[in-house]
């Protein structure tokens, strides 16, 4: 059975347009944040979190759902491990959630799984990547074609669901193949450079994009100077072109 596809549902906006506000009960607590995406029940799926200098949180016995974090600026100490800009961590559902502290302050992209659907994971209790350059890049292959000039670094993959978080480097002069869709939600945060999902919007550092599951997008994907983007999915990602 062919899936029911939707069009023009993607959301793209500069995160600078969102005011900082108290995230309330969200990890790591007592911090400012900018919600990028909320689920239908209002719970936070992804956010930018700002930790102030000298801030610290206590450890939690068990994470109610998987928590991921990518350090955008500054540095943190997660448990006993220091993570600087470009560092990444994952604490799977049910694993002890370490304390987090920062001396000088930090900003992170934080990704929360939905506690209502979370299940204990067989993954390692804590996954730490000191810097994304430590992850060996691969050249993506789509429709049997190697995308030379691209570099994909998979930071983490959920062994139960296939959900993953990855960094993608896109070369300058990139022109996409055309409209496409995925069977899962795709969220993208631009770290460096420029990349356009179509002719009406351009992503630069700090821009966020959400492509809903089964939503057709990518009407003219392109990059003039190249880009590095952080992207994450809530299930097994695949790309399907509409023509």
**If pLDDT is split at 50, 70 and 90, which confidence band does 85 have?**
very high
- Provide the residue count of the chain: 243
In angstroms, the CA 120 to CA 66 distance is: 9
36 DSSP β-pair partners: none
In angstroms, the CA 20 to CA 32 distance is: 6
Q: How many domains does the chain have?
A: 2
**If pLDDT is split at 50, 70 and 90, which confidence band does 1 have?**
low
Are 37 and 98 contained in the same domain? yes
Domain finish residue from 131, 158, 183: 131
Are 220 and 189 contained in the same domain? yes
- How many other CB atoms are there within 10 angstroms of residue 62's CB atom? 11
Are 111 and 146 contained in the same domain? no
- How many other CB atoms are there within 10 angstroms of residue 11's CB atom? 14
Retrieve residue 14's tokens: 């500069």
Are 190 and 150 contained in the same domain? yes
**Predicted confidence (pLDDT) per residue in 118-171, tens digit:** 777 766 778 899 988 899 999 999 888 899 999 999 999 998 899 999 999 999
Q: Which CATH number characterizes residue 202's domain? A: 2.60.120.10
Domain finish residue from 116, 131, 146: 131
Are 18 and 126 contained in the same domain? yes
- How many other CB atoms are there within 10 angstroms of residue 38's CB atom? 12
Whether 8 maps to a domain, the answer reads no
């Amino acid at each position: 059975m062919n899936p029911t596809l939707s069009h023009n549902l993607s959301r793209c906006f500069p995160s600078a347009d969102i005011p900082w506000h108290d995230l309330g009960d969200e990890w790591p607590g007592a911090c400012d944040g900018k919600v990028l995406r909320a689920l239908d029940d209002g719970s936070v799926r992804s956010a930018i979190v700002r930790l102030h200098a000298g801030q610290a949180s206590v450890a939690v016995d068990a994470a109610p759902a998987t928590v991921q974090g990518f350090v955008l600026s500054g540095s943190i100490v997660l448990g006993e491990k220091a993570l600087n800009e470009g560092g990444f961590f994952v604490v799977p559902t049910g694993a002890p959630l370490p304390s987090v502290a920062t001396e000088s302050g930090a900003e992170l992209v934080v990704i929360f799984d939905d506690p209502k659907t979370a299940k204990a994971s067989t993954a390692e209790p804590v996954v730490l990547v000191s810097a994304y350059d430590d992850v060996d890049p691969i050249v993506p292959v789509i429709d049997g074609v190697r995308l030379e000039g691209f570099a994909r670094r998979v930071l983490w993959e959920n062994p139960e669901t296939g959900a993953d978080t990855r960094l993608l480097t896109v070369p300058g002069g990139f022109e996409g193949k055309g409209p496409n869709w995925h069977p899962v939600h795709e969220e993208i945060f631009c770290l460096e450079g420029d990349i356009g999902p179509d002719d009406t919007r351009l992503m630069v550092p700090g821009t966020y994009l959400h492509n809903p599951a089964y939503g057709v997008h990518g009407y003219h994907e392109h990059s003039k100077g190249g880009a590095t983007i952080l992207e994450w999915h809530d299930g097994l990602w695949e790309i399907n072109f509409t023509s």
